[in-house]
Each structure stands twice: as C-alpha cells, then as structure tokens.
Amino acid sequence: MSDTSNLRYADVTLLYVEDEASTREQVSRILTLRGYRLITRVNGQSGLDAYREHRPDIVLTDIMMPQMNGLEMVRRIRAMDPEAQVVCMTAFSETNYLIEAIDVGINQFVPKPVDLSRLLAALDHCLEIIELKKRHGMLEAETQKTRKLEAIGILAGGMAHDFNNLLQVILGYVSLARMCADPDSKTAELLGIAEKSFDNARQLGKRLLTLAKGGDAILELTHLPPLIIAGIEAELRGTSTSCVTDLPADLPPVRIDAAQFRHVISHLTINAREAMPQGGTLQVSASLCSLAAINEQALDPGDYLHIIFKDSGVGIAPENLPRIFDPYFTTKEMGSQKGMGLGLAISHSVLRHHRGQIQAESKPGEGTAFHIYLPLSQTNN
C-alpha cells in the first residue's frame, strides 16, 4: 500500500474464492499474514452468497470452479455493486476466457501459478482505487455542504437587509409613541421593553449579515496565537473548563479579519464549554500543513495553517454531524444564555470568506474536534 493510503490491511475485508485446496491454503496464509480480514469460499455460488452477506472491499477469485465459475460470480456481483473491486487469477490454459473476463469488468489479472509479490501489488492497487473513490466522495460531500450553506447565506442576507429596514421603521414609530406617552405611564414602560427587544433583533440582523457576506472583512496579517489565547480566556474565565494550548511562537502570520476570527474562536470555545458541563479540558493546537490537489477539505492546493479545537465532551451523534453547520440547527434548548444554532454557521461562513475551511469530527461520549484551515498567503513569505 502506498504511504499516502489511510486504509490499513486490517480494515479491509477480502473475499477469496478458490476451489483448489493447496493454492487456497498457500495464498490464504500469505493474505492473513499481510493482515487482511479474509473470507474464503470454494466455488462461485458460495462466493456470491458470501459477497451478499459480508460486502467485502475486494474480491479475489479463480475462474474455473465447480457449480458456478468465477466469471459468472463476478457478473452477478457487478449487477449488485458496479463499483466492486475484483482481482482474477488465471492459468494460461484459461486465456480463452480473457475477453469475457474483461467484459464483466475484472479490474486486474494475476497469472497462475501465482507470483505472490504480483498478487499483493494487484491487491494494493485495488486499495488505492478504493481510497481515491472514498476521498472523491468526501470532496463531493464537502462541496455540496458549502454550496448549500452559501445558498442559505444568500437567503439570510436578503432577509436580514429587509429585516433591518422594517426594524428601523418599527423603532421609529415606537420612539415617536414614547414621546407622545406620559413618561410615568404603563404605556411608556411597555414601549421601553419593546425598545430593548429591538437591540436583540438588531444583533440578530447583524449575525445574519455576517452569515451571508462574512461582513465587510478587513484582512490584515495577524499573528494568531495571542488572538486565540485571548479569545479562549475570555470565554473560559471563571468556568470549570480549562485549556491546554500548543501554539508554536514561530507560526507565520495569516491574513485574516481579526474581529471575525475572534467570533469563530468564541463560538468554538463556548460550544466546547457547553459540551463539558461537568468541566474538562479544551485542547487547542496549531501547525502548518500542505494540501494536495485533491483534498478532503475541498480547498485549493497549497500551504495552510491547521488549527484544532478538541474537547472531551458529550460528542455529536452521527446523524447530527452533517447538520451542525446549518443555520438554526441546535440540540440545545433555546434561551437567552444558550445560542440559537448560528455559531457554527457563522464560523463556516467566516472561514469560507477567508478561503479556508472548518470541519468537525466527533465520537459520542468521547468528544469533538474542530479543524480549521487558513491559507498562508504568498505575502507571508
């Protein structure tokens, strides 16, 4: 397996179908030693049944076998799963099957008697294809998510604009009404309450605008560690949550809007604190990384600052994970102190407007890690 592959052999289920006992034993031993999770079957029919039951990652099969030959088995597997990875072992006497084998879409051939290094290389190649498809799927999902959030952002921005205008009119009339009312009257008191709510509504309008456009970003080369530490301390002071940071002093500065980025730090710190109601430790680290042409972050290739916010809190249920960046998605009860499901949506928007990315990984009961990527601009060098 290449160094870039993340799959471990132990994570790969390999179905091996071979009728000849001595070959089966010898090859099985090697595959088990290599670390594969191995399932063996002795003919096409039992191989097909095993495929249905276990959905292996790779199928390795002989061609000539009793009951159902390897090609028929692969044809039926392909009908179920067109993406199945199949390696076929063929003796020279079976080359008349080759055209048919290509027809059913066998990915690779290994001649018999089996050269083990050739067999292992063929299987490694299948793994690389599986890995590439997996990454492509993640990239696709990330791009979809960003498109969806941008569309929601545009809608929110339009609404926020109209919302602010309407608020302005309402406030104007409320102020006029207050001027007309006796200052000591119940009416004046009620109008005062309405004015206070106006402030909250204006804050909401501002948040929606940040979500839509990232506000009017003022980008400046900024040394991040002090900004991060100050942001975290402000949110954790007087709480039972502590913080451990690993922020190397020699990290290059990045071009950001410090005020907006401070919001991201606040939201992530508050979320971590709320995820650890009994107290706990928030770990924050930063390092440099290079992203390749195709990357799971759906970012342009290049050098990035990679910041991780990791807590040991309640974690996020797998069914919620794809939704946490959606505006108004929250699992917390609505209230004055609790947020309203905008923290991560705004953070995502801010990062996108910095040509960066924010992603989450989480295990329920174990904790959550947020990964932030900020591009290092050419002018940093």
Q: How is residue 96 annotated by DSSP?
A: G
Q: Is 343 in the site for Mg ion (CB under 5 A)?
A: yes
Q: Determine the Cα–Cα distance for residues 184 and 107; give it in Å rounded to an integer.
A: 85
Stretch that binds Mg ion, among 77-85, 211-219, 269-277, 297-305 (CB under 5 A): 269-277
Q: Closest-CB residue for ligand ADP?
A: 339
Q: Is 339 in the site for Mg ion (CB under 5 A)?
A: yes
Closest CB to ligand ADP among residues 105, 322: 322
| Inter-CA distances, 363 with 309, 310, 329, 367, Å | 14, 11, 19, 6
Window 339 to 368, contacts with ligand ADP (CB under 6 A): 339-345, 368
Two tokens, residue 264:
């991201």
Member of 116, 331, 363, 380 binding ligand ADP (CB under 6 A): 331
Cα end-to-end distance, the chain, whole Å? 35
Taking only Cα atoms into account, the Rg of the chain, rounded to an integer number of angstroms, comes to 29
- Encoded one letter per residue, x for contact with Mg ion by CB under 5 A and - for no contact, window 162-191 reads ------------------------------
**Residue located via tokens 């290079």:** 290
Q: Is 198 in the site for ligand ADP (CB under 6 A)?
A: no
Q: Determine the Cα–Cα distance for residues 287 and 297; give it in Å rounded to an integer.
A: 16
Q: What angle do CA 258, 309, 312 make, to 5 degrees?
A: 150
Q: Is 271 in the site for Mg ion (CB under 5 A)?
A: yes
Q: Determine the Cα–Cα distance for residues 257 and 372; give it in Å rounded to an integer.
A: 15
Q: Find the shortest distance in angstroms from Cβ 339 to Mg ion.
A: 4
User: Which region holds residue 341: left if phi is over 0, alpha if psi is between -120 and 50, else beta?
Assistant: left
Name the pairing type of β-strands 367-375 and 357-363.
Answer: antiparallel
Q: Find the shortest distance in angstroms from Cβ 109 to ligand ADP.
A: 49
Is residue 267 within 8 Å of 347, Cβ to Cβ? yes
Q: Residue 113, preceding bond cis, omega within 30 degrees? A: yes
Window 266 to 325, contacts with ligand ADP (CB under 6 A): 267, 271-272, 275, 311, 313-316, 320, 324
Q: Find the shortest distance in angstroms from Cβ 206 to Mg ion.
A: 16
Member of 109, 163, 198, 329 binding ligand ADP (CB under 6 A): 329
Q: Is 232 in the site for ligand ADP (CB under 6 A)?
A: no
Q: Find the shortest distance in angstroms from Cβ 207 to Mg ion.
A: 12
Would you tell me which residues interact with Mg ion (CB under 5 A)? 271, 339, 343
Residues interacting with ligand ADP, by CB under 6 A? 267, 271-272, 275, 311, 313-316, 320, 324, 329-332, 339-345, 368
